[in-house]
Structure 1
Amino acid sequence: MDSTPLTRVGWSRCLVGALTLFLALSPAEACTGIRLKAADGTFVHARTLEFATNLKSDVIVVPRGFARVGTTPDGKPGMKWNAKYASVGANGVGLPYIFDGVNEKGLAAGLFYFPTSAGYNAYASTDAPNTMAPWQLGSWILENFASVDELKSNINKVVVPAVVFEAWGIAPEVHYAVQDASGQSVVIEYVGGKLQWHDNPLGVITNSPTFDWHMTNLRNYLNFSVTNAPPVKLGTVTLAPFGQGSGMLGMPGDFTPPSRFVRAVAFTQSAFPVKTNDEVVLQAFHILNNFDIPQGSTREQGTDSHGNEMTDYTQWTSAKDLKAKRFYFRTFHDSQIRMVDLTKFNLDAKEIATVSMQGEEPISNLSPQK
């Protein structure tokens, strides 16, 4: 798998293209994140990425020392930092920022859509030296911290206001899932102008409403069981379940965030234990098969700026091995699982390396050839 370095000039050109593409973007996005653990101690965090317009994501590898400047609402230079740790993950629309990835210390971070619930920090021009845009926070986390505890001690130093993409017309509404190699997991949200973080003992995340609402909603499903319901005798009649799955009868099956959250908890908590990192990665992809959204099944009211109907669909699914520092992915056009190993790159390179996620899956013909 080839990787291509991009200079800072190259990234600037990509940003222009990204902003142009954002003109056509729909605000719809539905993502599901899960966490699993293997017997060898490997934690894997996996997720789906849904959007209505092709984000044209690629895998990028950000080296140590890479210089960053935060974006502010008034155009002043924001927070400046140099990457302490190298990281690997998927970007979107050519941006030099990771939307979902893992760093060399096994800390993973991902952005998840958070519509109608996100309420970012207030901003004053004097805040500029500590400010960055919502889409930059994930990379800042990956490039500066080795553990969830370390992040908790520093996240209050950052101002994250509603920075608007001028071409997009809105500030992206997101919240963040972060987990480290020890298994600690946290959800970071900006609500009502204030930072909120929630410990995430189950390792599951979707979208709105707020994370604490989803955890409370689980109490509506305490009757679920992985064991099939037993036969019931009514007078002289004995009624038995029709088939498998009766213990989970009533599980919500739609694509809304509350329903996906419930299903993700049910499937991760009922998963059989596996031994190795390879097994747990495959297990994560199997579970996320249940959250794959085909094109056409979820549609926005109206059309985009080009008059096209907007339909959310799963563009890619990823898994991060927090022990081996590997980023696995498959895409809408290629269901073969591919892997990028952070440790195989020059982590002190001068520029970001890019690994393409594009391409279509060939269909193997196993019939006799004449």
Structure 2
Amino acid sequence: MCTSLTYTDTAQHPYFARTMDFPTTTPWRPIFLPRHYAWPTGLQTTRRTRYAILGGGRQPQHFNSCLMADGINEAGLTCAELYLPHAVHYQASTRPGAVNLTPQGFINWVLGEHTSVAAVVADLPRVNLVAKLWGGDDQVYPFHWFLCDATGHSVVIEPTATPLSAQANPVGVLTNTPILAQHVHNLNRYLNVTGAQFTPATTMAAKQWLNAHRPLPTSPLPTDRFVHTAIRRLGTPQLHSDQVKTTLLTWLAEVSLPYDATKTNRTHNYTHYRCLIDLQAQCYTFMARQQSQPRTIRLTADMAANWHAPVIYQEN
């Protein structure tokens, strides 16, 4: 399914980028959610955002709330969800005194109620993720989340145990199952680096791999897309700001899943969009499969202060 990465340019300017490969019955679009936006948790309660959000999402059928897959809020905090089947551990019921959420609403809580990665991490022990349906979906989706803020601080949250906790991601890349630790182990093994942990030897091996023009894995498996993107990110000399958009979107195109017009069922996985988030400028660049050029929307102070209703942008 999805591939994502964080990046910092030569001016220490942070970015986040991802592909969205998840099949749905409603289209993915850029979406703006205002301050004080009321969203249902799926647990017979409603929460309200404190901060405006701009990101990629969709409007599920027969449901009056937007489901976000990624985004940035007005404080420069980003969050994206990616698929983690066969690894998550959700709770069966709500817990008194906890922040009870369904997995689909976790991203709304992160971006709607926090200004930094540190603030989210401090709040995590209060969260109780409950395995309940949300938004008319027919299943409870297994997710893990990749977060980054305007300082460049980034973490991965994987709901594999209770209480929830966050971990650093030194590779700066995340795809789907397996868990991050196994991805890192696989990367070292691919690069012939000893051990399961990320070390400077991992980065050196990635640079040597690219300098030798050795081939990168090309299969659609999440493990191969992780290795491919990690070697690109770790092995490429640090980019200047004017190189970032084109380069990161190109890296994502290399691991995008092709669309097959002969497959019309809901289980057909292909890349619906690529996005790039400039955390300091608070710009969201969205490139749908059908588009030849990316579209950039900026989350401005005026939007955050004066726009009071959700906006679902058209594809073009």
TM-score range, shorter chain: 0.7 to 0.9
Count of aligned pairs: 300
- Alignment partner, residue 86 of structure 1: 52
Q: In structure 1, the residue corresponding to 2:10 is in which secondary structure?
A: coil
Note if 1:104 corresponds to 2:74: yes
8 Å contact kept, 1:285–1:319: yes
- Alignment partner, residue 341 of structure 1: 298
Structure 1 position 263, deviation (Å): 0.9
- Alignment partner, residue 224 of structure 2: 259
Structure 1 position 352, deviation (Å): 3.0
Q: In structure 1, the residue corresponding to 2:173 is in which secondary structure?
A: coil
- Alignment partner, residue 302 of structure 1: none
Note if 1:162 corresponds to 2:127: no
- Alignment partner, residue 63 of structure 1: 34
- Alignment partner, residue 284 of structure 1: 248
- Alignment partner, residue 138 of structure 1: 107
Cα distance in 1, alignment partners of residues 214 and 102 from structure 2: 42
Note if 1:218 corresponds to 2:187: yes
- Alignment partner, residue 86 of structure 2: 116
Alignment-mate amino acid for residue 331 of structure 1: A
Q: In structure 1, the residue corresponding to 2:58 is in which secondary structure?
A: coil
Q: Highest Rg: 1 or 2?
A: 1
Cα distance in 1, alignment partners of residues 154 and 35 from structure 2: 24
User: Which runs of 5 or more structure 1 residues have no equivalent in the other structure?
Assistant: 1-29, 229-243, 300-306, 360-370
Deviates more, 1:350-359 or 1:53-62: 350-359
Structure 1 position 258, deviation (Å): 0.9
8 Å contact kept, 1:32–1:49: yes
Cα distance in 1, alignment partners of residues 314 and 88 from structure 2: 30
8 Å contact kept, 2:206–2:234: no
Structure 1's 97 and 312: CA in aligned 2 closer, same or farther, altered over 3 A? closer
Cα distance in 2, alignment partners of residues 38 and 207 from structure 1: 25
Alignment-mate amino acid for residue 77 of structure 1: T
Structure 1 position 148, deviation (Å): 1.2
Structure 1's 247 and 336: CA in aligned 2 closer, same or farther, altered over 3 A? closer
- Alignment partner, residue 77 of structure 1: 45
- What is the identity percentage for the equivalent residue pairs of Structure 1 and Structure 2? 25
Structure 1's 122 and 308: CA in aligned 2 closer, same or farther, altered over 3 A? closer
The structure 1 residue matched to 2:267, chosen from 310, 319, 329, is 310
Cα distance in 1, alignment partners of residues 162 and 253 from structure 2: 36
8 Å contact kept, 2:207–2:236: no
Structure 1 position 287, deviation (Å): 1.2
8 Å contact kept, 1:48–1:314: yes
Cα distance in 1, alignment partners of residues 108 and 136 from structure 2: 22
Q: Where do 1:186-225 residues align within 5 Å?
A: 186-192=155-161, 194-223=163-192, 224-225=205-206
Cα distance in 2, alignment partners of residues 324 and 130 from structure 1: 31
Q: In structure 2, the residue corresponding to 1:136 is in which secondary structure?
A: helix
Cα distance in 2, alignment partners of residues 113 and 247 from structure 1: 31
8 Å contact kept, 2:282–2:299: yes
Cα distance in 1, alignment partners of residues 94 and 111 from structure 2: 26
What TM-score do the two structures reach when normalised by structure 2?
A: 0.85
Q: In structure 1, the residue corresponding to 2:268 is in which secondary structure?
A: strand
Cα distance in 2, alignment partners of residues 55 and 70 from structure 1: 20
Q: In structure 1, the residue corresponding to 2:35 is in which secondary structure?
A: coil
Cα distance in 2, alignment partners of residues 356 and 309 from structure 1: 23
Q: In structure 2, the residue corresponding to 1:153 is in which secondary structure?
A: helix
Alignment-mate amino acid for residue 135 of structure 1: Q
Structure 1 position 336, deviation (Å): 0.8
Cα distance in 2, alignment partners of residues 269 and 216 from structure 1: 15
The CA RMSD over aligned residues, in Å, is: 2.6
- Alignment partner, residue 303 of structure 1: none
Cα distance in 2, alignment partners of residues 353 and 170 from structure 1: 25
- Alignment partner, residue 328 of structure 1: 285
